[in-house]
Amino acid sequence: MKDYMQKLGKALMMPISIIAAAGLFLGIAAALQNPNIVGASFIEMTQLQLAIGFVRRLAGTLFGNLPILFAVAVAIGLSKDEKPTAAFASVIGFLVFHVTLNYILQVAGITAANTTVAALMENGMSNYDALLESSKYESVLGIFTLRMNVFGGIVSGLTVAWLHNHFYRIELPTAINFFGGRRFVPIITTVAVPVIALASYFIWPVFNNLIVGSGNLISAAGLFGTFIFGFLERILIPTGLHHILNQTVRFTAVGGTAMIDGNQVIGSLQIFNAALASTSNIDISIFREASRFLAQGKIPVMMFGLPGAALAMYQTASEDSKGRVKALMIAAVAASFTTGITEPLEFSFIFISPILFLFHAIMTGLSFMLSSFLGVSIGNVQGGIIDLFVFGIFRGFETRWYFSLVLGIIFFFAYYYVFKYVIVRFKVETPGREENLVEGSDVVLPSDMSSVANLIIEGLGGKDNIQTVDNCFTRLRVELKDMAKVDESVIMQSKPAGIIKTGATSIQVIFGPKVEKISNAVKDSLK
């Protein structure tokens, strides 16, 4: 189950990475159309503003079609092989899913016309009840359906992935074998997905009420709710399940609800982006409420706290290892500071010191709570310097971005002194303090990636011992046949930040941001 959830978390990161990039464009465009930032004369440059408006429209289109992006991403991420077929079938599954819901709604007499707020109020509903009832429905690619948002995409993607993995190699009788194998996947998808849609019609209202209830509990917890989120978001890092938690607050009522331009928007990230994309005068309080679970809680930790920890690890390293540790820490700090990718730094201590790991999780929770308490409003998902500038500084002083810097300075010294004390006091074997360095770990690798890949394959027990190879943002994820055949000393010659055995046949090799290049080289060598 853990491996499955890790794969799901990684699959969900595919559309999130697109959103992060689109969000940057959306943030820059919103800033360039804000007269308080660029001045009235810049706003009056009609042709330039038309071009900026077009960029906003493009970015907004991605956010408006997230459900189908999630459907395709989940199907690709969870399919074992023939991923293009899974992607093709996921589009069919998504359309069939919502067309089925649309047909059921029509049979029940529920249409787009009679579920508008005005129509419901004409039938005797109060404005509040009409808003709640109307918000249960939406149009997806022109199809009137239940408002399942990205969950609809995830459900259809999960269904297609399961069907694909079970049927993409099926053999049919000779007379109809043309429709066997991968051609059978879209066919069985068309048959099976309506059943899932029918079940969703009855299950989703209950699930929706549970989500809304969870959102109310988080909201009722106030500042403590943001602390809990930040703490859990870090404590789940080793399992990869923090992605699931993030998607919950970003795309469900747990992250809040808001009315933007007459439409109800759910989820912290979607509210923030919808407010950015709106040409109306959105009150800053909506931005602040939406950003409670977003980048603002990460900035003090990722840009300041973890670099402080890195400095402490460098200074406590043995003299003969400081050159190696310095190179590692500079690369890891650069990734955390600029992009919010923290695994290279975190994996250098979380598996060898529960005290430091717990301190890091608590500090992250405090960062989210204090940022919310101080009224900071910095959105997006990464938490590096780019988010600070685009979604904080560029949007003006009303975002209170300066509090992130104040908190950051405090966090830098807190991390530095706590890490230094704990490392020395408890003799924690952070990089450069290992009593038994792996022999050959200082070998200089050639620039030819194929030789690096062959070294990794050899260390994993050879080609015949490897079942699957994949990667996330920082880790090479491998499924093996026999863990006993692994030779860690050989793997370490490829200069990873560490090795994690996550199961009886599951192993992860941490390389940081360069992992995708290494993963492709390993896959090419295996072929």
Q: Is 472 a catalytic residue?
A: yes
Q: Are strands 506-510 and 498-501 parallel, antiparallel or unpaired?
A: antiparallel
In a domain, 442, yes or no: no
**Total domains, the chain:** 3
| Confidence (pLDDT) at 447 | 57
Backbone angles phi, psi at 256, to 5 degrees: 110, 165
In a domain, 443, yes or no: no
Are 239 and 198 part of one and the same domain?
no
Q: What is the mean pLDDT of residues 173-190?
A: 87
Task: Locate all alpha helices (DSSP H) within 168-222, ordered by sequence.
Answer: 184-221
Measured CA to CA, the distance from residue 183 to residue 186 in angstroms comes to 6
Confidence class for position 411, pLDDT limits 50, 70, 90:
very high
| Residue appearing with tokens 């009409």 | 130
Q: What is the mean pLDDT of residues 314-326?
A: 84
Are 390 and 508 part of one and the same domain?
no
From the CB of residue 412, how many other CB atoms can be counted at a distance below 10 Å?
A: 19
Last residue of one domain, picked from the residues 387, 414, 437: 437
pLDDT tens per residue, range 419-437? 999 999 888 878 777 654 3
Token digits of residue 449:
């990636």
Measured CA to CA, the distance from residue 410 to residue 429 in angstroms comes to 26
Q: What is the mean pLDDT of residues 386-399?
A: 85
pLDDT tens per residue, range 71-106? 999 999 888 888 899 999 999 999 999 999 999 999
Last residue of one domain, picked from the residues 202, 217, 232: 217
Measured CA to CA, the distance from residue 527 to residue 523 in angstroms comes to 6
Q: State what percent of residues in the chain have pLDDT above 70.
A: 88
The mean pLDDT of the chain is: 83
In a domain, 17, yes or no: yes
Q: 208-212, 227-231, 415-419: which has the minimum mean pLDDT?
A: 208-212
Are 345 and 319 part of one and the same domain?
yes
Are 356 and 412 part of one and the same domain?
yes
| Confidence (pLDDT) at 445 | 41
In a domain, 444, yes or no: no
Are 425 and 512 part of one and the same domain?
no
Task: Locate all alpha helices (DSSP H) within 374-514, ordered by sequence.
Answer: 385-391, 402-425, 449-459, 488-491
Is residue 20's pLDDT more than 80? no
Are 109 and 228 part of one and the same domain?
no
The answer to whether the CB of 476 falls within 8 A of the CB of 456 is yes
Is residue 279's pLDDT more than 70? yes
Confidence class for position 438, pLDDT limits 50, 70, 90:
very low
Q: CA–CA distance from 47 to each of 52, 54, 92, 279 (Å)?
A: 9, 11, 40, 17
Q: 34-43, 56-65, 354-363, 381-390: which has the minimum mean pLDDT?
A: 34-43
Is residue 29's pLDDT more than 90? no
pLDDT tens per residue, range 97-154? 999 999 999 999 999 888 888 888 888 887 757 766 777 788 888 899 988 877 888 8
Q: CA–CA distance from 449 to each of 127, 453, 455, 502 (Å)?
A: 63, 6, 10, 26
Domain that holds residue 266: 222-437
DSSP character at residue 381: S
The answer to whether the CB of 304 falls within 8 A of the CB of 380 is no
Are 187 and 279 part of one and the same domain?
no
Are 342 and 422 part of one and the same domain?
yes
In a domain, 371, yes or no: yes
| Confidence (pLDDT) at 245 | 72
pLDDT tens per residue, range 233-242? 888 776 555 6
Q: Single out the catalytic residue among 472, 480, 509, 515.
A: 472
In a domain, 301, yes or no: yes
Last residue of one domain, picked from the residues 408, 437, 466: 437
Are 183 and 328 part of one and the same domain?
no
Are 265 and 166 part of one and the same domain?
no
| Confidence (pLDDT) at 161 | 93
Q: What is the mean pLDDT of residues 11-25?
A: 70
Confidence class for position 493, pLDDT limits 50, 70, 90:
confident
Are 12 and 154 part of one and the same domain?
yes
Is residue 191's pLDDT more than 90? yes
Query: Across-strand partners of 266?
Result: 257
Per-position DSSP letters for 233-254, written without gaps between them: HHHTGGGTTHHHHHHHHHHSGG
- Of residues 359, 356, 512, the one with CA closest to residue 433: 356
The answer to whether the CB of 379 falls within 8 A of the CB of 276 is yes
Q: Which residues contact 142 (CB under 8 A, 6 or more apart)?
A: none
Decide which of 327 and 167 is more confident.
167
| Confidence (pLDDT) at 258 | 82
| Confidence (pLDDT) at 441 | 38
In a domain, 80, yes or no: yes
Q: What is the mean pLDDT of residues 352-375?
A: 92
pTM of the model: 0.59
| Confidence (pLDDT) at 440 | 37
Are 270 and 415 part of one and the same domain?
yes
For the stretch 2-38, what's the b/e string if a residue is b when 16 or more beta carbons lie within 10 angstroms of its beta carbon?
Answer: eeeebbbbbbbbbbbeebbebbbbbbbbbbbbeeeeb
Q: What is the CATH number of the domain that holds 511?
A: 3.30.1360.60
DSSP character at residue 137: E
| Confidence (pLDDT) at 430 | 81
- Of residues 367, 295, 302, the one with CA closest to residue 16: 295
Is residue 155's pLDDT more than 80? yes
Q: What is the mean pLDDT of residues 461-477?
A: 86
In a domain, 491, yes or no: yes
